[in-house]
Amino acid sequence: MAGEAADGLAAVEQTRAHRPDVVLMDVRMPGIDGIEATRRIAADPGVTGTRVIVLTTFEVDAYVFDALRHGASGFLIKDTKPAELVRAIRRVAAGEALLSPQVTRRVVREFASRPTRVLSPHPQLNALTDREREVVSLVGEGLSNEEIAARLVLSPATARTHVSRAMVKPTARDRAQLVVFAYQSGQVD
């Protein structure tokens, strides 16, 4: 099913009513903006399976970080080609995180330019096994399940299982939140 909303509140209401797999969310909308709408969708237990991709013309760093911090699973620029957009929707629906190449470069530059990082280990960090911590670190580096499997000499199914279990303990909604968890907890250098 496809739907459309004219403003942020309508997007939240449409999401609650129809429970789509993926929502494409604009940042600038009347009423509440797309970041706040994303936050509300991510916090709503009635739509836990719904993922949000923020799609915007604005590559402002604050939008990227706020979108990811508030539960977005992806961030794309509106000049993304239609075929790439379809692939992105499929990847996010499958539980992966996605950033456009321009946004990925910005995120990497931001983290690399910080002289020191304030670490705030998640209370559930100690609940992770050593293997799960290793997997969290690799997810934080941006590796796919297949790349994690190759790096750790595991089957892709086993890598997926480790990623899924690692997401459950800190209650990460998706890979994007697992990446944030990895950085905030110091699992990624």
In 3-state terms, the chain is what percent helix, strand and coil (to 5)? 55, 10, 35
User: Do 53 and 20 meet the contact criterion of CB atoms below 8 Å apart?
Assistant: no
Which amino acid, 186? G
Q: Could you give the number of structural domains in the chain?
A: 2
Q: What CA–CA distance (Å, rounded) separates 84 from 81? A: 5
Q: What is the pLDDT of residues 55-84, one digit of tens each?
A: 877 655 567 777 777 888 888 887 888 898
Its pTM stands at: 0.62
The answer to whether residue 119 sits within a structural domain is: no
- Same-domain pairing of 77 and 164: no
How far is the C-alpha of 103 from the C-alpha of 177, rounded, in Å? 16
CATH number at residue 29: 3.40.50.2300
Tens of pLDDT, residues 2-22: 778 888 899 999 999 999 999
Q: Is residue 88 in some structural domain? A: yes
Residues 12 and 100 in one domain: yes
C-alpha 179/C-alpha 136 separation (Å) is 7
Owning domain of residue 51: 8-113
Supply the DSSP symbol for 46.
G
**What pLDDT shows up at residue 61?**
58
Asked if residue 132 lies in contact with residue 166, where contact means CB atoms within 8 angstroms, the answer is yes
Looking at the structure, do residues 142 and 108 belong to the same domain, yes or no? no
120 domain-assigned: no
Both 40 and 98 in one domain: the answer is yes
20 and 98: one domain?
yes
Same domain, yes or no: 46 and 129: no
